[in-house]
Chain A
Amino acid sequence: MIKRKGIVATLVIVSALGSGAVFAEEVEKIIEARQSFMQLYSFNLGLVGEMAKGKTEYDADIAANAAQNLLALAKMNTSPMWPQGSSKADAGLEEVTSALPEIWTTYPKVSEKHNDLTAALETFATVAGKDLASLRGGMKAVGDGCKGCHQDFRAKKEDK
């Protein structure tokens, strides 16, 4: 009798651990996806940003396309990339993600901030292809849009 109880308990624990492990792996994949998504922002920002700095020559087509890409990214529905339990505070994820639990606990604040980014990128898409001065003038608002979420919902980077 005692032995049987023990087996049942062991089975329960093992299956719980098992599903936990699978879940953690899935979450890590999702986190990887959303980090790749951020890389797409960064890549396209780089195209316009290097022109703003004068490191690459201004090219209206490249600038306009990059700005369109940024806007398209902002308009994508990425909610499946942000499941509950995928914050830095969740077990085992501290080193994997910088996403703060406030994304979920203060929802829909993050979504409102994201709307601000989309609005900034709407404007940017109309000016980036005009000329270099317009592109330069538009960068700050885009930076503010990014900052909107990163300031409140991403853990500060530890300085080494």
Chain B
Amino acid sequence: MKITTKKISLLISGFVLAGLVPGLAQSQVPAHQTTLLSPLSFTNRAQCALDSEKPTSSVLVMIDGYNAGKLANSVAKLQGLAPEEYSNKAMKEFRLSVAYMTLNIMNKMIRGHLPVLPTNLKTAQLPKYVGASQRCEKAGNNCSDMNDYLSGIWTRAGKRADLTAYDRFTQDNFPLHASKDRLGCYYIKKFSALQGHLHNSEVNQSNLQDIALAYLNEADYLTGCFDSDDKLPNRFVTLQIDWETNKNSLDIQGFDFWNSLKIYLSWAWRNTNEVEMLSPSFGRLFRSIALEESIMFSPNGCKSMTKPSCDSEYLATNSVRELAKLSDSVTPEQFDNVPVGTELELLEKGVRGVNNDFLGTQSHDTAQGWLQNFRKNLIQSRALIKTKYQSATMHLNLLQDQLGVELLAHGLNKELTANASSDNLMNELYYLCTEVRLAGDNSLDFLKSNIDRIAELKNMTQMQYSERRSIKEHIDFFNKLSAPILATCNQLEKQNFWSKPGYTVSKNGFSAWAKEMLQIGPDAEAAPFVPATFSGKPTLSWSGQTAAGAQTICSSSIDCARLAVKSVVDLYAVSVYADALIPLAGKSSDPNLFNPYAELTTCKMYDPWFQTQRMNKVFMIDLANTALFGWNVLPIYLDVNFTAPKVVSFNQLMKNGVLKFDPRLEKSKAQTSLVADFGPLLGAPCAVSLNSNGIKHYNFYSFTGLTVNYCDAKQKNEVISLKATDFANGASTERSFCGGCTLNFTAVAAASTATWSGGVNPAKFIVYLFRTFQKYFKAKKDKVNIPRGWTVNPAYAAEVYKKYGEIPSHCVDMLGKGLNCFSDTCAAKAAQYIEQTYNAKVHSAYIHNDGDYQGLATDTVLRTNLCEGDISVTAYCNENRLEKFRVTNVYGWSKSCRRALGK
């Protein structure tokens, strides 16, 4: 076995790590590499959209050490030790533990020691697993069945026969290929060209050079996951895990693999003592850490960890992407008092750029800085949501326990009777009536159906600890309360209650959520609103004997009713983003941070194949045109353009406690315009405006003048000529072609067509045919909307750079195909074959006999480090279809080579 430099470095890093990290020598850190392993996959927008449907093989693990640090801080203070020192120690050990547990479980699944559990329980053939899952879902979290089940698997890990007997695991739950997988685990110090696919949507000389330089200076950007250098920050850590595996197996098992990783990780963290391996001091306490709040996964690129689906859970989870962006100016949607809803946010944001570093990873000096910004926004919005939930349920409980519908309604009437003419009362009733209408009126339904639906959403019903009442009971209370209030409000309106002379309502007193919905801005001049206590003392307040002291809960029955409405609106706000911000116990979230097309594609707002299909459709129509018009003398040519199908709205459908969005599409329309082409006369095609003049049957159109359109969306500056000799500014026309011209034709009922000297125009035919193909090939070059992908192996880029001092232009194509740079693409492909099959290093490769032109196999001659002499590879190779590369023979020209090849 040849000892390569890579293997040596791996061995050395293993020993070094074992020495440095306490406890590491005793445990077996799963085998992994610390120099960059996987090729980088560059994609443009359309390919990125397509990739969102495929499982990823590289993920980022984002770790926030706060919980570990705070724990250690408390422990140190209780023990009289140095808090800062112990905090740092704990955060480091937390990072090491997360890395260890993740790799350990991945390793076990890769080796077939742990089975891959299916994500889709409906089609799963594992009765015990499905049973435990169903029981635990029914019982909320008060269930140990799933823990017991996973414990059963863990104790049988590595024993295939025992596992198969335990539950009906089959070959589908274990590795589907025989070849060995490899894992790489890196601590990202700084985002660089080594994550270049996140901020470039194509491969060119310049970014290849960046990749090469970054690879050669890898230590500045990456280090190993288990690097225990104290200078490495541990509060915000981004790890990258690369998994090199068989592509076909990945496509089949990928999503299940990542789902299983999350399940095993959540269970093993709490229920085994493996965490103590990497952190002997804090390991026992770490088990109680809120793990899913401290770590987050994300695919490293456009592919996914979870299969995309157009529903509230998926859209909410991915909406955290907005929190990872830099901008301070825009308040993220998660902070809205009344969120519009994830599917409507999607429609509003629409189609956008991708792979252009919109998350700002390049704008921070360190990866820690980027993650810190993300976590700050995430934690703030999470805290906001939790506080809203806690307050809302507490207030609703108080109102139901202490007051109830009847007392509130009675109190309301009493206040109305006693204070009918007071401005304060009129204002507060106005606010109450408006707010109840917004939230609780069936016919207006601004929020009513959204609120009713909260009780059906799984993310709310499984939210922990609606201790005294279920969500449904709160919603029922709200509905029961709204009914008499709405009736009273209707009555008051009929009596023109608010039409008192001299009275104008002060809009300042509306609740923040109502102001948001009604778009009432802040009024600096108005006095801040204080609810009146109509009976002298607040209707409900906290006793002064508590640690926090006396505090008003609500001042009057009106105020208390408004509090009920606010609480229910807050519950609605929580329900929209709960999936993203409050992970259900035992499920880490994995938003597809770097690919906004994951949602756009699955919700059909973007079709990555649309452009390709349109290009083909237009091509066919152009050919038809050529046949129809290309031969005659009429200067007319039909230009057909298809508009992309547009999602206009979403039908909402509640299914299994999750809101599914069904896009309503406005179908693809054909936009037609007739383009008149005067060929050599005017040079550019002009658009044609046809005025039928009310005449139904006409033989031809008569030219009535020319309009020249400047590039102006508002269609000013148009020059219109009504007659051939007339030029004047005029009104807008229906179509405006930027920089072009419009020929105006009017239908003429009857005219002699004798002016056309009839017949075929062969020159025109050729021109039209040529233009058809030209248009087609130009469309094919669309950089953004025709799927295009590249693969770059950074080690190859570095090698080429070292050899030539730059990236030569002839190498760009080969490097973009994941190959090293040789004389020819097929030679490079043959070289890759030899390197992968025989674990060799190819020094040179050239084509000896290019059989491609005769349809025969190509002969490539290579020199390698395997042996002295030449090796010949015969293969069928088409430069443009490299996936069909097929080797027919490998031959060693010298004895040593024949021996090395095993022949």
Q: Do A and B come from one complex?
A: no
Residues in B lying within 8 Å of A, measured CB to CB:
none
Q: Which residues of A contact B (CB under 8 A)?
A: none
